[in-house]
Copies of this chain bind each other. A is one copy, B any other.
Amino acid sequence: MVKEEIRVLGFDDSAFEKKSKCLVPVVGVIFRGGKFLDGVLKTEVMVDGLDATEKIIKVINSSRHKEQLKVVMFDGITMAGFNLVDIKEVNEKTSLPIIVINRKMPDLEKVKNALKNFEDFEERWKIVLNAGEIKECRVKNRKIYFQAVGLKDWDAKEIIRITSTRSLIPEPLRVAHLIATALVRGESHGRA
């Protein structure tokens, strides 16, 4: 049984200009279920770097909300270009279950080809594989995809449904996206 007001932390990164090789803000939003916002976290990661996993772990473990948190969500595992989040490592080092939401079925062949441009291809591809099997779930009668580490599929689906109150994606991710976009552009924009 998943509680209606389960504390969920969702992360999203800001958009960035391709030309700028720099730090990109990443926003974490803590929600009580799909109901209301309880807290906001912020960190920054390098464009195409590999520091996202470490930065995310640090911001979670140093949060005063840590004890109340029950699950962490991501909107895909790539941030700031190809800065990959190793959700297996995040799960191990925070002791929190992780759910990754993908609104479209990820094209792993395409990701693999893009990662081949990096010298540390092997390390990056391993992070992609660590995210585990891609599964399906229905939200408001639309199909979405998810990956889960540290919890059962049944619970992951229940948490996705409880938190997706206002749109097809969970509230912490929807709001993290609005905040992250505003940080860079001055105003939030909806998704395409």
Instruction: Please give the residue numbers on chain A whose beta carbons come within 8 Å of chain B beta carbons, in ascending order.
Output: 27, 36-37, 39-43, 59, 62-64, 165-166, 171, 175, 178-179, 181-183, 186-189
Contacts and interface: CB of A to CB of B under 8 A. Distances in A.
Contact of A166 (B36, B166, B187): B36
A9 B172 CA distance: 20
Main secondary structure of the interface of A (DSSP, over half): mixed
Contacts of A39: 178, 182, 187-188
Nearest to A165: B36
Contact of A40 (B36, B63, B187): B187
Copies per assembly: 2
Contact of A186 (B42, B171, B189): B42
A175 B178 CA distance: 13
A181 B42 CA distance: 10
A179 to B, nearest CB: 5
Contacts of A41: 182, 186-188
A6 B181 CA distance: 23
8 contacts: A37-B175, A39-B188, A40-B178, A40-B179, A40-B181, A41-B186, A41-B187, A179-B179
A41 to B, nearest CB: 5
A37 B176 CA distance: 11
